[in-house]
């Protein structure tokens, strides 16, 4: 084989490997982005009581969907399993194919991820994906959210606002400016995201409220104000509630 042929073979091989590496997600059109193992900052001391304390945790490798799960992606799951459709599946705007699915209970979201061999993220995994290793305020850094980075609501709680182009949900692939250092989109804004974590005060924190069998959602949504559009705000919700027009999810592949 000529030297040039060897190079051609190597380039073809590299291209094949690249395609294979990008195609590991079992969810069509929603890649899983690797989040490397290593220490990361979790919690904060300058926010609400239930976000304290700030500390450094040891992180394991995991991979997380690049975008929120869309109606198109959720529809394929419904077709394959006969699971009940999302509550807003036929809404003229919330039900559009490219928008994040909303109107799903925690059980619906959990069933979706498990169908693909995945799970919902833990609060720790959400924060590592959204804050990097050093506890950034936002996925893109320290600058406050603006209309180029997040689909958000009015300045005062809790209505939609179209100054960013979207009164309600935006396509899951929009807001490139929201990208984290690993390239994950809309971890703040667009729709709240279910985690697999049960709501409870953090170790070392003080119980500010009773703890029920509630699950935590993260990241704020299209009708959130600045107080809720953070990487640390913890929204505790009834896992059976499936009527939220601003609650969706994404999945992770966790190390064993």
Chain residues binding Ca ion by CB under 5 A are 151, 161, 164, 166, 186, 190, 219
CB of 253 vs Ca ion, minimal distance in Å:
19
User: Which residues, listed in sequence order, are joined to residue 236 by a DSSP beta bridge?
Assistant: 216
CB of 37 vs Ca ion, minimal distance in Å:
24
For residue 151, which of 79, 100, 213 has the smallest C-alpha distance?
100
Alpha carbons 216 and 212: distance in angstroms, whole number:
11
Give whichever of 52 and 152 is closer to Ca ion, judged by the CB atom. Answer: 152
Q: Do residues 62 and 99 lie in contact, with contact meaning Cβ atoms separated by under 8 Å? A: no
At 131 the three-state DSSP class reads helix
CB of 245 vs Ca ion, minimal distance in Å:
13
Alpha carbons 213 and 34: distance in angstroms, whole number:
30
Give whichever of 111 and 167 is closer to Ca ion, judged by the CB atom. Answer: 167
CB of 65 vs Ca ion, minimal distance in Å:
11
Alpha carbons 212 and 37: distance in angstroms, whole number:
31
Give whichever of 23 and 97 is closer to Ca ion, judged by the CB atom. Answer: 97
Give whichever of 105 and 169 is closer to Ca ion, judged by the CB atom. Answer: 169
Q: Which two tokens stand for residue 101?
A: 């699915």
């Amino acid at each position: 084989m000529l030297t040039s042929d060897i190079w051609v073979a190597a380039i073809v091989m590299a291209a094949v490997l690249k395609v294979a590496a990008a195609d590991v997600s079992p969810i069509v059109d929603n890649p899983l982005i690797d989040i490397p193992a290593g220490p990361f900052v979790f919690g904060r001391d300058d926010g609400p009581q239930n976000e304290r304390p700030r500390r450094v945790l040891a992180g394991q490798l995991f991979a997380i969907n690049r975008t929120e799960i869309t109606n198109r992606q959720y529809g394929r799951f419904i077709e394959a399993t006969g699971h009940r459709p999302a509550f807003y599946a036929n809404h003229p705007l919330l039900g559009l194919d490219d928008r994040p699915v909303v109107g799903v209970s925690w059980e619906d979201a959990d069933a979706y991820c498990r169908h693909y061999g995945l799970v919902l993220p833990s609060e720790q995994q959400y924060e590592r994906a959204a804050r990097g290793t050093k506890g950034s305020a936002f996925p893109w850094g320290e600058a406050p959210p603006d209309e180029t980075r997040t689909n958000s609501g009015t300045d005062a709680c809790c209505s939609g606002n179209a100054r960013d182009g979207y009164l309600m949900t935006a396509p899951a692939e929009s807001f490139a400016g929201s990208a984290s250092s690993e390239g994950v989109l809309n971890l703040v804004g667009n729709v709240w995201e279910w985690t697999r974590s049960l709501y409870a005060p953090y170790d070392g924190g003080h119980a500010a409220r009773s703890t029920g069998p509630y699950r935590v959602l993260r990241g704020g949504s299209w009708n959130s104000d600045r107080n809720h559009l953070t990487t640390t705000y913890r929204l505790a919700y009834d896992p059976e509630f499936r009527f939220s027009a601003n609650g969706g999810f994404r999945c992770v592949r966790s190390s064993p």
